[in-house]
Every structure is written in structure tokens, then in C-alpha cells.
């Protein structure tokens, strides 16, 4: 009951503030004194607040969390290696978590390398975006691993991957098609997946490999993305709201959050009802114990954020 009452206060209070701001925008005088001709307006506004209150209280109060799919961020578990390297992949694959997530970038000569950051420092030229530099130049100054080799090792150790195809303003318009053509054979040996912020590239990949699951990565959770033709969503956990989650879950597609490394963040995502979490603390997530009656209070933060 304490949870419901607190939620009601948040919803009613936020609704009252919204109404007050609307009245100010319309230049309608706000006064505690209610004249006779104001009663219809007052009744209408009061009804609006009550409706919002009932709607809020009947909304998501937290459901029994489903088992979280654990996705190892950049192939690293509890700081056991360097992200996006074959060495970390081989080590982390021994834990047998469902997926390892990793990042790839395309060079200017259309080679795919394992890397997270878009920039690479080239002596005399400063930091250059990877997709503007050929592989041979990058290799002069940095040790890099090819995605071709990473995928081969993943298939050998039977470790499914979620591959993030990184996108910049200079990304080649046919990068998705080229990626799918190059790696189709390797990508179909295990239930690998690809996700990216670049929706057009995902569609190119899906057209070449229809059986491959593709997912949209979001950095700021705004707008209605439920109509996009993808198989799953990987959403930034801090900006994920109950409303967005409800809309997407209505389309019966899984939602994963990134990057949940703290105990509180893991609980919040699980209680909200996501299907899995991308984390660098896979062992912590695997041992997470959730008591809905005890941990549901974290949802109050979401309810407040939904109205801000």
C-alpha cells in the first residue's frame, strides 16, 4: 500500500503541475478562490487529475521479473581482459553465458576490425575516424584484430555473438550489404545477432541474411521506435521509461538494456520487465536475487521521470 500511495502522490502531483502550467500558458488566472462560472472548468480539471491518478495506479506496478538474458559487454567479465579482443572472447566464453556483445568498425578500404571507439590516433594527423583510414595505416601504429578472425574463434568455441556495427557520419552507404556478403557463412553457424544505431544498415543485412536477427541500439530513448522492422531492441538503461517499454513489448519483441553494471541498475531493469541486460559484470547479474515487494520501490523513480 505504501508503494501505491506514493505512486498516487507522484501521479496526482505531476498532473496538477501539468494543469497549472497549461493554465499559465493560456493566460488563465490561477486563484484559490473559485467563482461560480469557474466551477465547470474546475470540475473538468479535477476529473482530469483523477483520471490520470487512476490510470497511473492501474499502470505498471512491477511484475515478477523474468529470467534475465546475460549479454557480456565487449566480451569482458568482471575486468578479465581487454574489450573486443580474441583473448577476452576465449576467456569469457568459458563461462557459457548466452551472448557476448562486441563492436566492429569498417576501415576506409572496407576491412572490418574489432574496435569500440570511432577514432584512432595517427601520428602527425591526430585522431582520425577509423572509416577514413585504411587498415594498413592503422596497423602501422596500433595492434588491431580483424572481425574475420574474431568470428572464426567464436564459432570454434561455440559462443554466440551480438555484433554492434558502429556507424559514423562517414560510414559507407553500402556498409551493411558488404558486411553481410563477407560474413554470411560465419554468421549463420551459430545464432549470432547484429545490432546498431544505423537502421538502414540493419535492413541491408536483413535483406542479405533473412534468418539473422537484427536489433536497434538506442542512445536516447525518444520517439516511437516500435514501428521499425527489427527483431529486438538494445536500449540505454537510464533513459528507458515505462511507457516506451510498454509500447515496444506490445509488439512482442525482446528488449535488452545497456550497460547495467551496478546492483541498483540491474534490479531496476529487471523489475521494469526487460528481457536481458548488457553488462560488464555478468557474474553479479547471474547471482542477482530480486524480491519484488522489497525492490519495487525503484520503479517510483521511473514514474516520476515519466511525468517530467
Instruction: Please give the pLDDT value at position 9.
Output: 53
Largest pairwise CA distance in the chain: 82
Instruction: Please give the pLDDT value at position 22.
Output: 52
Instruction: Please give the pLDDT value at position 57.
Output: 44
Instruction: Please give the pLDDT value at position 56.
Output: 47
Query: Rounded CA gap, 272 and 113, in Å?
Result: 35
Q: What is the pLDDT of residues 116-163, one digit of tens each?
A: 999 999 999 999 999 999 999 999 999 999 999 999 999 999 999 999
Which residues of the chain fall below pLDDT 50? 1-5, 10, 32, 37, 52-59
Query: Rounded CA gap, 213 and 162, in Å?
Result: 9
Residues in CB range of 6: below 8 A, 6 or more apart: 300
Domain ranges of the chain: 2-57, 69-292
Instruction: Please give the pLDDT value at position 219.
Output: 87
Instruction: Please give the pLDDT value at position 54.
Output: 47
- SS3 string, the chain, reads CHHHHHHHHHHHHHHHHHHHHHHHHCCCCCCCCCCHHHHHHHHHHHHHHHHHHHHHHCCCCCCCCCCCEEEEECCCCCCCCCCCCHHHHHHHHHHCCCEEEEEEEECCCCCEEECCCCEEEECCCEEEEHHHCCHHHHHHHCCCCEHHHHHHHHHHCCCCEEEEECCCCCCCCCHHHHHHHHHHHHHCCCCCEEEECCHHHHHHHHHHCCCCEEEEEECCCCCCCCCCCCCEEEEECCCCCHHHHHHHHCCCCCEEEECCCCHHHHHHHHHHCCCEEEECCHHHHHCCCCCHHHHHHHHHHHHHHHCC
Instruction: Please give the pLDDT value at position 58.
Output: 47
CA 138, 174, 191, 152 torsion-angle sign: negative
Instruction: Please give the pLDDT value at position 53.
Output: 46
CATH number of 69-292: 3.20.20.190
Which grid cell is 151? 568470428
Amino acid at each position: 500500500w505504501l508503494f501505491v500511495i506514493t505512486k498516487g502522490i507522484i501521479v496526482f502531483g505531476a498532473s496538477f503541475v501539468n494543469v497549472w502550467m497549461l493554465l499559465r500558458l493560456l493566460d488563465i488566472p490561477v486563484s484559490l478562490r473559485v467563482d461560480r462560472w469557474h466551477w465547470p472548468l474546475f470540475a473538468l480539471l479535477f476529473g482530469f487529475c483523477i483520471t490520470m491518478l487512476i490510470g497511473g495506479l492501474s499502470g505498471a506496478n512491477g511484475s515478477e521479473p523474468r529470467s534475465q538474458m546475460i549479454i557480456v559487454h565487449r566480451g569482458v567479465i568482471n575486468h578479465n581482459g581487454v574489450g573486443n579482443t580474441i583473448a577476452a572472447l576465449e576467456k569469457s566464453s568459458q563461462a557459457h553465458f548466452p551472448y557476448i556483445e562486441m563492436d566492429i568498425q569498417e576501415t576506409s578500404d572496407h576491412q572490418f576490425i574489432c574496435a569500440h571507439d570511432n577514432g584512432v590516433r595517427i601520428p602527425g594527423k591526430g585522431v582520425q575516424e577509423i572509416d577514413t583510414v585504411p587498415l594498413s595505416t592503422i596497423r602501422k601504429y596500433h595492434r588491431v584484430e580483424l572481425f574475420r578472425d574474431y568470428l572464426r574463434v567464436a564459432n570454434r568455441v561455440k559462443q554466440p555473438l551480438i555484433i554492434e556495427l558502429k556507424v559514423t557520419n562517414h560510414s559507407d552507404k553500402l556498409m551493411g550489404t558488404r558486411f553481410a556478403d563477407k560474413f554470411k557463412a560465419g554468421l549463420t553457424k551459430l545464432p549470432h545477432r547484429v545490432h546498431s544505431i544505423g537502421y538502414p544498415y540493419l535492413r541491408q543485412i536483413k535483406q542479405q541474411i533473412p534468418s539473422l536477427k537484427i536489433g536497434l541500439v538506442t542512445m536516447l530513448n525518444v520517439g516511437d521506435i516500435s514501428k521499425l522492422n527489427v527483431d529486438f531492441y538494445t536500449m540505454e538503461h537510464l533513459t528507458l521509461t515505462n511507457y516506451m517499454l510498454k509500447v515496444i513489448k506490445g509488439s512482442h519483441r525482446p528488449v535488452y538494456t545497456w550497460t547495467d553494471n551496478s546492483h541498483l541498475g540491474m534490479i531496476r531493469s529487471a523489475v521494469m520487465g526487460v528481457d536481458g541486460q548488457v553488462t560488464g559484470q555478468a557474474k553479479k547479474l547471474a547471482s542477482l536475487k530480486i524480491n519484488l515487494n522489497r525492490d519495487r520501490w525503484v520503479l517510483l523513480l521511473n514514474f516520476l521521470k515519466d511525468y517530467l
